[in-house]
Amino acid sequence: MSRYLFLLLFSSLLFGSQYWKLDSVDGDIGKFATKLPYPVGTTGIVIHDLPQGYSSIVSYCETTSSNSVKFYPFDTLKQENLPHGKWKPSKGDRVRFQENYHRAMIIAKNFNDYLETYRKFKKEWIHPDLFSATLSTRGHRSPLKEDFNYFCKEHMVGLIYIALRDEVAIVDCLSMKKVDSYPMEFPDGEVQKPFYSRIKEIKANWFGEGKDDISDFEKYYRRLIEK
């Protein structure tokens, strides 16, 4: 994990005061002294303070209950030439949740559903064409959880808005868990596989998970976010 850490100058400007301090750490589990105002599945970054005003992101984390998180390696912005250390989350470290939640992507079965969702919510939208291109490079006609994770780290996307039959499921892109939803009715209509995009063809591997087309849009994405 250590080779992926990077130092952040002027951390007070970057992180402000919107953070929670870890009260205890036991292995890959951290706990807080107070209840968190975030649903299970919300992710964040763990910030470790260093001497002389420096800070370092040492881990991702995901809420597992009202006052606990599970830690995961921080593997974004890999850069071997930057200073790094072997720090791990510890008591007193700060956690900032909902990182990049202002940037989002829409997964919809067709253009009409996409446009309705786009107009309903105010976000910095990342077009699904970029995700289609990523799937082609990875050889997956049906997107896997790892594909979403990889894409969202590369493009700093925090949320996925999935337009389902009777709701828009708002999904944390790292945990791929539903953290919110908004009731909306989307009529039956044409389905573009694996989701609406202006890229019509996604290259697929000869074998392995993700090589086949999605057979049922609704069922596939509900299962994906409920795993």
29 close to 71: Cβ distance less than 8 angstroms? yes
89 close to 30: Cβ distance less than 8 angstroms? yes
More confident residue, 9 or 227: 227
Residue-number span of the structural domain to which 11 is assigned: 2-97
Are 172 and 116 in a shared domain? yes
Are 18 and 93 in a shared domain? yes
The stretch 17-33 carries a mean pLDDT of 92
Name the pLDDT band for 1 (thresholds 50, 70, 90): very low
Domain boundary pick from 97, 126, 148: 97
E strand spans, 29-165: 29-31, 43-49, 55-65, 68-72, 94-97, 103-107, 124-125, 159-163
Are 76 and 137 in a shared domain? no
Residue 53 has pLDDT above 70, yes or no: yes
What CA–CA distance (Å, rounded) separates 105 from 20? 27
Are 135 and 193 in a shared domain? yes
Residue 178 has pLDDT above 50, yes or no: yes
Are 35 and 117 in a shared domain? no
Question: So what's the pLDDT on residue 80?
Answer: 52
Instruction: Quick: pLDDT tens for 91-147.
Output: 999 999 999 999 999 999 999 999 999 999 999 999 999 999 999 999 999 999 999
Are 7 and 108 in a shared domain? no
> Half-sphere exposure (CA, 13 Å, Cβ side) for 96?
18
Domain boundary pick from 67, 97, 127: 97
Question: So what's the pLDDT on residue 211?
Answer: 83
Helix, strand, or coil here: 219? helix
Residue 158 has pLDDT above 90, yes or no: yes
Helix, strand, or coil here: 226? helix
